Amino acid sequence: MNLLIELLAFAVAIGVLVVVHEYGHYSVARLCGVKVLRFSIGFGKPLVQWVSPKTGTEWTIAALPLGGYVKMLDEREAGAPIPPEALPHAFNRQHVAKRFAIVAAGPVANFILAIALFAVVFATGVSEPAAIVAAPTPNTAAALAGFDGGETVVGVRNPDGGSSEPVRSWSDLRWKLLGAAFDHRRVILSAKDSHGTSDFPLDLRDVAEKDVDDDFMSHLGFEPGGGKLIVAGVQPGSAAQHAGLAAGDRLVSIDGKPTDNATAFIAYVKTHAGTAITLQVERDGDAQQAGKTEAIHVVPLAQRDDTTGESIGRIGAELATQVPSIEVRYGPLESLQLGAHRTWDLAAYSVRMFGRMITGEASLKNLSGPVTIADYAGKSARLGPSAFLSFLALVSISLGVLNLLPIPVLDGGHLLYYLVEAATGKAVSDRWQLVLQRAGLACIVALSAIALFNDLARLIHF
């Protein structure tokens, strides 16, 4: 069933993105007076065809749905001479500015789609974890900044001055810290607790590129807090079972330190192999026992870590964190502004990341292919409409950025030709275009191979 959901979500995502991208080319070509011969979703043998009696455009759905194209009237591609009356409608006869606009319209359409999707998500509201920080692991950036756990981050600002940007949720906090870490700069977080609002200086100048990944916040010591750490299950014969832990127990503290986050709890247990630790546990009971805790002493068993080969402590309990969430909702105009801002930030981040992969500052493991996209499409679809729309917006931005890269074969390569033509007054020769096209095709094949390898590596964990 999960595979079916992933395939269906992937098909919907690719279908929507391709249609929007190609329709951008199509609509601007029509506005510029260029005749469009075919609008195809997919490649290969046509499965469905329809010719518009008004425009003469052939609309096609082909057998291989991974992509699409818009074929315009062009003397360079015509198999037969074009009638003189049709020549003004040929793509190659258009002014360079019109050709530039037609080619750029595809990626621009992807960015417009992303803005619209984000605006819908912001306007309809989404439930997200609150920006409450759990007790950080010692010596992490969060701990060095002064966080003890339980603080709610409400703002972030530049230490050199400027207004504070509000932090509304955990994902909002993550995104703002990600941008600061990528730029290697310092920020000041404003957070409130029972004592009031305080400032926490956070130095992100030395964050390694390898740490800017899915576990970025964990590397910094930031985990969602303020919730409940629940024992979801206990393994038979484990230290947890021998100590008397049971599914449903709420873990309140460990050796006298409050705990509300699984990552910090596990990290503490790992360093106490063979050493007794004391857990304060709250259990369901009658009304008279509500709020009371029970002390449970457990000795973590020493086991070999498969990743590091070191001996670590484990108690054999499955944990679940129930964090408080908030409903984030904005007005129509603010949603549109936030959608545009988020789209710009993500596009800029994608360009910087790709540039750093080229220079070797960031790992090529950040590239993802169709397998990973399908996986995330299925996961986001199962989480609900807001998550799927956000995922669709993210992929739409990635598609727009990818197509704007100055690589021949892609839209960005053609745009580069037109910029050269506009600057020199001469079109790039067919000979040079052929040479560059082959080089561009080699780049695309190499990138695709790396992305597919990364997909397989994530799938089979090698």
Phi then psi for residue 240, to 5 deg, are: -65, -40
H or E segment to which residue 345 belongs: helix 332-359
Helix (H/G/I), strand (E/B), else coil: 163: coil
Task: Please determine, for residue 210, whether its predicted confidence score (pLDDT) is greater than 60.
Answer: no
Alpha carbon of residue 456 to chain centroid: 19
Query: Residue 286 has what pLDDT?
Result: 44
Q: Which is the catalytic residue, given 22, 128, 151, 223?
A: 22
Which pairing describes strands 58-72 and 250-254: parallel, antiparallel, or unpaired?
unpaired
Dihedral Cα 134, 135, 140, 144, nearest 10 deg: 110
Q: Token digits for 366?
A: 């950040």
**Burial (CB count within 10 angstroms: exposed 0-12, middle 13-18, buried 19+), residue 16:** middle
CA-to-CA separations, 67 to 217, 223, 292, 325, in angstroms, rounded:
35, 39, 60, 38
Whether 85 is catalytic: no
Task: Please determine, for residue 162, whether its predicted confidence score (pLDDT) is greater than 60.
Answer: yes
| Separation CA 286–CA 288 (nearest Å) | 5
Q: Token digits for 155?
A: 């703002």
Dihedral Cα 51, 54, 56, 57, nearest 10 deg: -70
Helix (H/G/I), strand (E/B), else coil: 309: coil
Sign, Cα dihedral of 100, 106, 107, 110: positive
Reported as a pLDDT band with limits 50, 70 and 90, residue 287 is very low
Q: Token digits for 200?
A: 């926490």
Q: Give the closest residue to 213 by CA, choosing from 94, 83, 335, 357.
A: 357
**Burial (CB count within 10 angstroms: exposed 0-12, middle 13-18, buried 19+), residue 294:** middle
Query: Tokens 């049709």 — which residue?
Result: 86
Reported as a pLDDT band with limits 50, 70 and 90, residue 299 is very high
| Separation CA 66–CA 70 (nearest Å) | 14
Tell me the longest C-alpha to C-alpha distance in the chain. 93
| Separation CA 322–CA 301 (nearest Å) | 26
H or E segment to which residue 16 belongs: helix 2-31
| Separation CA 137–CA 270 (nearest Å) | 12
* Global pTM value: 0.75
Query: Residue 288 has what pLDDT?
Result: 43
pLDDT single digits (tens) 25-71: 999 999 999 999 999 998 888 889 999 998 899 999 998 877 889 99
- Whether the CB-CB separation of 245 and 319 falls below 8 Å is answered with no
Mean pLDDT, all residues of the chain: 86
pLDDT single digits (tens) 313-353: 999 999 988 888 888 788 899 999 989 988 998 898 888 88
Query: Residue 236 has what pLDDT?
Result: 92
Helix (H/G/I), strand (E/B), else coil: 220: helix
Domains of the chain, each with CATH number or no CATH? 141-220 (2.30.42.10), 228-322 (2.30.42.10)
Query: Residue 291 has what pLDDT?
Result: 58
1-15, 115-129, 320-334, 343-357: which range is least confident on average?
1-15
